[in-house]
């Protein structure tokens, strides 16, 4: 029974304290990790908001990287991020697709007419069924879908410039390299 | 002879709690009854009683994704209403309880289940405190045994002690014992 073994409990405490410090300080408990990362974008067939009479389905997400933005007119944070989405669509060379979530299509149409339309196309998810399939629990949420239609990332909350630079740009760079070497 | 208890003079026979305490009591009672009222009111018609029972159990077991700690049954949020509707639809579609849990888990992840899945990670999580407890217990056992060993007296050779005592005893003790040497014996 040597003196060194007396320090074992202390060592265990230090290790646990470090783990707790890192683990508990890490994320906002309100933000859930997406269960869909690595899985194909769920199948859907929904009417287009911006092209009345037409429909879109998940195959439209193949061929290039897309950002899928879940938004609604009743969501104030969506309004706050809209300018940033406009900027990204215009300058960053990435296609943004919209899902109008549990909203009034007329109000939604008026919204994008007034505030600008960053979306290549937008579908109407009136009853929120696609939202449930995506694990959406509040707007806005933004997904990154790669060229094969696989979900790679989900961001909950508004996309502002800092979020764009910290969270999205590195991933998009990686995806570009992936498809470049494919 | 019976003894009667009498209130001492000056104390009113009937003691009343001050209003604040009584209000606390009323509020407390209402608060306890609260949970019964929290059950979300969804008017779903089930095709049979078993479906209705399974629905009630499932919406208690599934967590509301936007609430920090509330089941689907106890939440007013729109997403919870949507998910309750999904549970209803899946039950009526003939899905089993496990299939419904899988459905929710595939979309919302571990958080949506009040009973987390047993994965290697969660098993490790449960095991670590037990392992630490066992290690601690072992350590305590070792310390106790070591102490006990120190406290146990070693077998003593009383014969040798007697000889030594006799050799060095003071002179007064040895009056009349010619064999014993003096205090400064050679």
Candidates A50, A41, A61, A72; CA nearest to A123 is A50
Q: Which residues pair with A40 in a beta bridge?
A: A150
pLDDT of residue A97: 96
Percent of chain B with pLDDT over 70: 78
User: Where does the pLDDT of residue A66 fall: very low under 50, low under 70, confident under 90, or very high at 90 and above?
Assistant: very high
Q: Which of B78, B108, B146 sits opposite A135 (nearest CB)?
A: B108
pLDDT of residue B37: 47
Task: For the beta carbon of residue B180, count every other beta carbon within 10 angstroms.
Answer: 14
User: Where does the pLDDT of residue A182 fall: very low under 50, low under 70, confident under 90, or very high at 90 and above?
Assistant: very low
The pTM of the full predicted model, rounded to 2 decimals, is 0.70
Instruction: Write down the H helix ranges in chain B.
Output: 19-38, 49-61, 78-92, 97-108, 120-151, 158-168
- Burial of B46-60, coded b for 16+ CB within 10 Å and e otherwise, reads eeeeebeebbeebbe
Contact call for residues A85 and A78 (beta carbons, < 8 A): no
Q: What angle do CA A173, A178, A180 make, to 5 degrees?
A: 95
- Segment B119-177, tens digit of pLDDT: 888 888 889 899 989 988 998 999 899 888 887 777 777 888 888 888 887 765 555 55
Flag whether the ipTM exceeds 0.85: no
Q: Which of A29, A32, A138 sits opposite B108 (nearest CB)?
A: A32
Checking if the pLDDT of A63 tops 50, the result is yes
pLDDT of residue B84: 95
Please give the average per-residue pLDDT across A53-79, as a whole number.
94
- Segment B97-123, tens digit of pLDDT: 999 999 999 999 988 998 888 888 888
Q: Which helix (H) or strand (E) holds B21?
A: helix B19-38
- Segment B22-72, tens digit of pLDDT: 888 888 877 776 555 445 567 788 999 999 999 999 999 999 998 878 899
- Does A1 contact B146 at a Cβ distance shorter than 8 Å? yes
Chain A residues contacting B via beta carbons under 8 Å? 1, 5, 8-9, 12, 29-30, 32-36, 102, 127-128, 131-138
Distance from CA of B136 to the nearest CA of A (A): 8
Candidates B91, B109, B101, B103; CA nearest to B61 is B101
- Secondary-structure percent of chain B, ordered helix, strand, coil, rounded to 5: 60, 0, 40
Whole-angstrom CA distances from A119 to A80, A86, B11 are 16, 8, 80
Identify whether A140 is preceded by a cis peptide bond (ω within 30 of 0): yes
Whole-angstrom distance, CA of residue A44 vs CA of residue B8: 82
Contact call for residues B79 and A138 (beta carbons, < 8 A): yes
- Segment A118-141, tens digit of pLDDT: 999 999 999 999 999 999 998 899
pLDDT of residue B97: 94
Please give the average per-residue pLDDT across B74-86, as a whole number.
92
Mutate to test the interface with B, among A137, A141, A154, A157 (most CBs of B within 10 A): A137
Ramachandran angles phi, psi of A28, nearest 5°: -65, 120
Q: In chain A, what is the greatest distance between 2 CA atoms, to the nearest angstrom?
A: 81
Count helices and strands in chain A by DSSP H and E runs: 6, 7
Spatial neighbors of A134 by CB under 8 A, at least 6 apart, are: A36, A42, A70, A99, A141, A143, B107
Q: How many CA atoms lie within 13 A of A62 on its CB side?
A: 7
Whole-angstrom distance, CA of residue A55 vs CA of residue A62: 16
pLDDT of residue A119: 96
């Amino acid at each position: 029974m040597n003196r060194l073994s007396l320090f074992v409990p202390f060592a265990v405490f230090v290790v646990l304290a470090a783990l707790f410090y890192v683990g508990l300080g890490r994320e906002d408990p309100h933000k859930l990790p997406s269960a869909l990362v690595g899985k194909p974008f769920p199948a859907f067939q929904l009417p287009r908001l911006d092209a009345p009479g037409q429909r879109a389905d998940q195959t439209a997400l193949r061929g290039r990287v897309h950002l899928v933005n879940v938004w609604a007119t009743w969501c104030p944070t969506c309004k706050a991020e809209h300018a940033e989405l406009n900027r990204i669509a215009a300058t960053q060379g990435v296609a943004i697709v919209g899902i109008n979530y549990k909203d009034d299509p007329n109000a939604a149409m008026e919204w994008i007419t007034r505030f600008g339309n960053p979306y290549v196309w937008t579908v109407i998810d009136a009853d929120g069924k696609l939202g449930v399939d995506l694990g959406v629990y509040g707007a806005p949420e933004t997904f990154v879908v790669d060229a094969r239609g696989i979900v790679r990332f989900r961001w909950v909350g508004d996309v502002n410039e800092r979020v764009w630079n910290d969270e999205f740009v590195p991933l998009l760079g990686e995806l570009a390299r992936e498809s470049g070497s494919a | 002879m019976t003894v009667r208890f009498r209130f001492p003079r000056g104390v009113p026979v009937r003691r009343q709690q001050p209003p604040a305490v009584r209000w606390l009591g009323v509020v407390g009672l209402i608060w306890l009854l609260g949970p019964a009222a929290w059950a979300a009111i969804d008017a779903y018609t089930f095709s049979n009683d078993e479906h209705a029972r399974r629905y009630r159990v499932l919406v208690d077991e599934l967590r509301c994704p936007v609430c920090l700690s509330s089941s689907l049954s106890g939440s007013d949020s729109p997403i919870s209403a949507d998910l309750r509707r999904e549970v209803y639809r899946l039950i009526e579609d003939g899905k089993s309880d496990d299939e419904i849990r899988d459905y929710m888990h595939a979309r919302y992840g571990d958080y949506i289940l009040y009973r987390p899945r047993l994965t290697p990670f969660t098993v490790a999580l449960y095991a670590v405190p037990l392992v630490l407890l066992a290690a601690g217990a072992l350590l305590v056992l070792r310390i106790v045994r070591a102490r006990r060993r120190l406290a146990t007296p070693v077998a003593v050779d009383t014969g040798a002690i007697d000889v030594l005592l006799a050799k060095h005893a003071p002179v007064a003790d040895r009056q009349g014992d010619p064999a014993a040497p003096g205090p400064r014996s050679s």
